[in-house]
Amino acid sequence: MANPDPWWAREKFWRTAAIVITGGMAVALIFLTFDTYPAIEAGGSKVPPYTVINKRIGYQYDSDLKRQVPVIGGEAPLFGEKRSPAEARAMVSKGKKIVQGRNCMDCHTLLGNGAYYAPDLTKSWLDPAWGSPAARESMMVSFLQDPPKYGRGYGSDRRMPDLGISEQEARSVVAFLKWMSAIDTNGFPANFPTIRQ
Amino acid sequence: MAEGALDTSNLNGGQKLAVKYFTVAVILFVAQIVFGVLAAQQYITPSFLFETLNFNVTRLIHIDAMIVWMLFGFLGATYWMLEEESGSPVVGLGLANLVFWVLTVAVTIVVLVFLFIQYGPGTQFTIWFINEGREYVEAPRWADIGIVAGLVVFFYNVVATFMNGRWTGIGGVLALDLIALGGIYVAGMFYTANLSIDQFWWWWVIHLWVEATWEVLVGCLVAWGLMKTLAVRRSIVTTWLYIEVALMFGAGILGLGHHYFWIGTPDYWLWIGGFFSALEPIPLVAMVVHAIYDSGVHRLKSANHPALAWFIAQAFGNFLGAGVWGFMQTLPQVNLFTHGTQWSASHGHLAFFGAYATINIAIFYLAVQQWRGNVWMGRDLPGNGWKWKWSLGLINGGMLGMGVAMLIAGYVESFIERAQLGSTWQAYFAAQTHPWFTSAMWWRQVFGVMTAAGVFLLVWDLATIGRGETRAAEKPTAEPAGEAATA
């Protein structure tokens, strides 16, 4: 008996379709990856160079794009010490390794990814909770060294545990957070009111 | 040997290995649930286990136990069907057994380090030996290398066995999928100071595993399972499998873009990710149609009622949890306000459960049936099969309840923290302390305990179902009259 199935219901047709579609999509993804990569390298169009920790960073509404964008301002060296590109990279990298080693991402979110038990850290450098730019750096370092003492839960009982972070380590974490706040995240988080500076 | 006793002489070589994987998978499944209940309790009473097992430890074990038990379930399920599907004994079974023990010892060491060492200094040593600190792939680098080595051996077993026996459509899809499964995992195995590049590749692992290669692997298992439980014609399941692969990879590969909205990637990903991920539910609809159609055609006559019930739960759960719940927040215009809230947790719970826990449980039931000598698991089980029916109801009801509770919490966060107050720390806590949020966390825990009760009942049932059974398994009807006439 002849095969009664129409062409679109045949096994062979769908096998070919599966191969062609999968191959095509994989090629498209590889092409897009090559296109995206230069933009997300440090110093690319979307991600700041590590030396951004020497600058003042803002997050302002762009009336053309209709969203907030990071704005890099004048000199504002972190902890009053201007760092070379290599020093800045080393400091941010050290901060990121501490963030990984203390498993911060299983309570907090970074760029919105992680766990939801503690606040998002994407723009934490710019958070109004630090009061003023003058007090911010020392407040962040004190907080990271002894979170149960310096943390604020705004009416919640949730606290950050003491993770044994030294002053030197805390400074590196702050560098990482400052650098992260300058990534152009396409407007996430929206409507973020920054610290007054 | 007593009637219906667990006896490995009832199993072929691949199946003997599979039941080892299944045993470890069940232990890790229970660990996942226990640590999930602990983590949920920490949302309600934050001082619970504070500075003993902090939330990031309980949550880490909750999610990593899940990834590993599901992966062990998939490995076991593949070894389970390999000999029947290929018509050949597993090639390289000795090596496969060695890999099982190596992986099991490695998982044990990783869990012990997570529990008792917990944290490390900010050095490469920590990344290699303690905790990589990247959600879902926290396992230190040495364990990553072990996983990839294990997957290489697994791939060799599968390909060599099909080459030694006969290639089938399921075998071909499986082999190609395993290349992607192993290859993609490598994409996440490096350190970079640049968080955007880090998350770019991290999502290759998480998304392309979970929303592409795992889904296709499950498609292979369901295709085989429907032939096994309902005696569906091979040409039908194979054609459906190709359709699912075309749709799954067609939508899922660039659907990766829905993770590239806010991590510093160019804004064209908003459109690419939004469009393709919106298509991702389509193959899941196809899988529901497939399962329902076949079940209907075969009048739900099956040799293994619990397994069939879980296969059907998989079809619906995958569609609802991965498809509907994913679609709700996949468009960037919505995701801007839901990203990083309990919406994601709600979707994660329902999707992992619906797509992957269900299929593994279905295959566990097929395994114990054969392990006990292919005994009866149809109608009229002792006690009317109350254990499997109650566990099915408790687990599915509990998961759905948890998903809805977390969705409500997510709405509160989206509106209050994200939209109204702009995602500052104060905004975060304004949502977390809102009565709607806190009551949702209570409900999540109630349904979590319900799920846990169902899981304990499930384990009890898996350990006892078919024990002392004297009846042989019912043979499913190969082709109902109407079907056969048109075949």
- For A42-107, what is the HEC assignment? CCCCCCCCHHHHHEEEEEEEECCCCEEEEEEEEECCHHHCCCCHHHHHHHHHHHHHHHHHCCHHHC
Strand partners, B279: none
CB count within 10 Å of CB B87 equals 12
Q: pLDDT tens digits, residue range A113-124?
A: 999 999 999 999
Chain B residues near residue A114 by CB distance under 8 angstroms: 135, 340
Q: So what's the pLDDT on residue A185?
A: 98
Q: So what's the pLDDT on residue B483?
A: 47
Chain B: closest CA distance from residue A154 (Å): 6
Q: State whether the Cα torsion A147-B51-B137-B123 is positive or negative.
A: positive
Q: Give residues 291 to 350 of B whose Cβ lies within 8 Å of A.
A: 332, 336-337, 339-342, 344-345
Q: So what's the pLDDT on residue B380?
A: 86
Chain A: closest CA distance from residue B317 (Å): 23
Q: pLDDT tens digits, residue range B109-156?
A: 999 999 999 999 999 999 999 999 999 999 999 999 999 999 999 999
Q: So what's the pLDDT on residue A16?
A: 96
Query: How distant, in Å, are the alpha carbons of A106, B53, B264, B278 from that of A157?
Result: 18, 17, 33, 39
Q: pLDDT tens digits, residue range A128-172?
A: 999 999 999 999 999 999 999 998 889 999 999 999 999 999 999
User: CB–CB of A36 and B260 under 8 A?
Assistant: yes
Do residues B158 and B182 lie in contact, with contact meaning Cβ atoms separated by under 8 Å? no
Q: pLDDT tens digits, residue range A21-60?
A: 999 999 999 999 999 999 999 999 999 999 999 999 999 9
For A161, the closest chain B residue by CA position comes to B51
Integer Cα distance of B223 and B218 in angstroms? 8
When comparing pLDDT for B249 and B231, which is higher? B249
Q: pLDDT tens digits, residue range B147-206?
A: 999 999 999 999 999 999 999 999 999 999 999 998 999 988 999 999 999 999 999 999
User: CB–CB of A189 and B418 under 8 A?
Assistant: yes
Q: So what's the pLDDT on residue B283?
A: 85
Cα of B162 vs its chain's centroid, Å:
25
Chain B: closest CA distance from residue A42 (Å): 7
Mean pLDDT calculated for residue range B224-231: 84
User: CB–CB of A22 and B250 under 8 A?
Assistant: yes
- Residue A188 pLDDT > 70, yes or no? yes
Q: So what's the pLDDT on residue B480?
A: 54
- Residue B485 pLDDT > 50, yes or no? no
Integer Cα distance of B181 and B100 in angstroms? 18
Contacts 24+ apart (CB under 8 A), B435-442: B436/B408, B436/B409, B436/B412, B437/B409, B437/B412, B437/B413, B438/B44, B440/B342, B440/B405, B440/B406, B440/B408, B440/B409, B440/B412, B441/B40, B441/B43, B441/B44, B441/B405, B441/B409, B442/B44
- Residue B475 pLDDT > 80, yes or no? no
Q: So what's the pLDDT on residue B305?
A: 93
Question: Could you tell me the pLDDT band of residue B351, with boundaries at 50, 70 and 90?
Answer: very high
Q: How many CB pairs under 8 A join A and B?
A: 260
Q: So what's the pLDDT on residue B486?
A: 41
Chain A residues near residue B337 by CB distance under 8 angstroms: 190
- Report the mean per-residue pLDDT for chain B: 93
Q: pLDDT tens digits, residue range B369-414?
A: 999 999 999 888 999 999 999 999 999 999 999 999 999 999 999 9
Question: Could you tell me the pLDDT band of residue B431, with boundaries at 50, 70 and 90?
Answer: very high
Whether the CB of A69 is below 8 Å from some CB of chain B: the reply is no
Question: Could you tell me the pLDDT band of residue B478, with boundaries at 50, 70 and 90?
Answer: low
3-state SS string for B301-350? CCCEHHHHHHHHHHHHHHHHHHHHHHHHCCCHHHHHHHCCCHHHHHHHHH
Note whether ipTM > 0.90 here. Answer: yes
When comparing pLDDT for B478 and A42, which is higher? A42
- Residue B479 pLDDT > 70, yes or no? no
- Residue A113 DSSP symbol: E
Paired tokens of B286: 């196809």
- Residue B244 pLDDT > 70, yes or no? yes
Cα of A104 vs its chain's centroid, Å:
13
Mean pLDDT calculated for residue range A2-14: 84
User: CB–CB of A15 and B425 under 8 A?
Assistant: no
Strand partners, A67: A62
Q: So what's the pLDDT on residue B54?
A: 98
Whether the CB of B130 is below 8 Å from some CB of chain A: the reply is yes
Q: So what's the pLDDT on residue B482?
A: 47
Paired tokens of B351: 């999707």
Cα of A22 vs its chain's centroid, Å:
31
Chosen from B262, B279, B486 to mutate, greatest number of chain A CBs within 10 A: B262
Q: Which of A98, A118, A128 lies nearest to residue B424, judging by beta carbons?
A: A128
Q: So what's the pLDDT on residue B477?
A: 65
The region of weakest confidence among B108-117, B220-229, B238-247, B269-278 is B220-229
Integer Cα distance of B314 and B309 in angstroms? 9
- Residue A125 pLDDT > 80, yes or no? yes
Q: Which of B121, B249, B486 lies nearest to residue A25, judging by beta carbons?
A: B249
Do residues B115 and B160 lie in contact, with contact meaning Cβ atoms separated by under 8 Å? no
Strand partners, A110: A113
Q: So what's the pLDDT on residue B379?
A: 86
User: CB–CB of B433 and A112 under 8 A?
Assistant: no
Mean pLDDT calculated for residue range B244-256: 93
